[in-house]
Amino acid sequence: MRRNGLRVWALHLALLAVLASAQFWLSPYLATNLARIMVLAVFAMGYNLAFGYTGLLSLGHALLLAAGMYAAGLPALLWGWSAGPAFIAGLAGGGLVAAVLGLLALRTAGVSFMIVTLMFAQAGFLTLLYFAPVTRGNDGFAVAAASRSFLGFDLSTDTPRFLAAFAIFATGLLVSLALMRSPFGRTMIAMRENEERSRMLGYNPFTVKLAALTLSGLYAGAAGAAYALLFGYVGASFATIQYSILPMLYVLMGGAGTTLGPFLGALLMFALVEAATGLTTAHQFIIGAALVALVLFAPKGILGTVRERWAKWLP
């Protein structure tokens, strides 16, 4: 796992270099889309830590995304916090809610875990609606321009927004790579592969999974906060089941348990939806067909298949 270090870091840094330069050769429209994709990819990378590496099949990650989004957005709305503190609050909100979710839901496993996380996310969504006077419910609210500034840069303008999205994405990617090359990453994978054996090596599955889920929540929180601050909107629709399924689709398409899979999946799904929307009104059908094809021909996702066939060294 620690071997091939040079090759692995070079690959990741090369991808980051290409992405950083993209703002110079993409149209502003596409660059903004890429910023959105990078933010969604952060969410998917977090999902990947829980699902792809640790084997926790959650259907409740929308709750964690929304936790970050509201933990950043509400202080901005109510008290006029600026982007820096609001982002930290979102990060912490995602991590904290994930830890609480884990304490309750990790008493279960497998299908029960899916159902319990789904139910908590649904409860979170209903809570947002219930407190509509504060949260603005389904309508949501716009984040004020004053809160969308960071160190004097206006995050609602193209270049600062792109750079902020890139910085968060790069941090998330490098942290997850470092994690997967660390002993703790190996322990996470051990939970996915053989929990009973891990226990008999002295690991407490509950605490390992709780830590992994909390990490996952930090990513989701960061993504939710970034979405609110960079794109200026907070709404309860982000807490719906759709946003729990989305990162799973990204991860499955790009390759569960690969560091680059979440980004690749987010990019391709985004492109697919764009292309399909241009071609036909039945774009949901095209996405469905793509997923069926994927499950049939590359059940390990794109990078999972690449790793199996050609590049065993991919982390």
Partner 1 sequence: MAAVMAPLIETRGLTLHYGGLKAVDGVDFTLEAGEIHALIGPNGAGKTSFVSLLSGRRLPQSGRILLAGEDITRLPAQLRVRKGIAYTFQITSIFPRLSVFDNVALAVQAQGTRDLENRTRAALARVGLDGLEEQEAGTLSYGHQRLLELAMGLALKPRLLILDEPTQGLAASEIEGFKALVRSLVPETTVLLIEHNMEVVMDLASRITVLTFGRVLASGTPAAIRANPAVQEAYLGA
Instruction: Give the footprint of partner 1 on this chain (CB under 8 A).
Output: 1-2, 183, 186-187, 189-190, 193-194, 196-205
Q: To the nearest whole angstrom, how small is the minimum distance from the Cβ of residue 205 to partner 1?
A: 8
Q: Which is nearer to partner 1, 274 or 308 (CB)?
A: 308
Q: To the nearest whole angstrom, how small is the minimum distance from the Cβ of residue 81 to partner 1?
A: 39
- Nearest CA to 308 out of 183, 260, 298, 192 is that of 298
The burial of 58, by beta-carbon neighbours within 10 Å (0-12 exposed, 13-18 middle, 19 or more buried), is given as: buried
Between CA 60 and CA 279 the distance in angstroms is: 32
Q: Which is nearer to partner 1, 199 or 283 (CB)?
A: 199
Q: Which is nearer to partner 1, 1 or 129 (CB)?
A: 1
Q: Which is nearer to partner 1, 182 or 284 (CB)?
A: 182
Q: Which is nearer to partner 1, 176 or 187 (CB)?
A: 187
Residues 6+ apart with CB under 8 A from 100: none
Q: Which is nearer to partner 1, 94 or 257 (CB)?
A: 257
Q: To the nearest whole angstrom, how small is the minimum distance from the Cβ of residue 204 to partner 1?
A: 5
Residue 144, phi-psi category: left (phi > 0), alpha (psi -120 to 50), beta (remainder): beta
Q: To the nearest whole angstrom, how small is the minimum distance from the Cβ of residue 87 to partner 1?
A: 32
Q: To the nearest whole angstrom, how small is the minimum distance from the Cβ of residue 45 to partner 1?
A: 21
Q: Amino acid identity of 221?
A: G
Q: To the nearest whole angstrom, how small is the minimum distance from the Cβ of residue 6 to partner 1?
A: 16
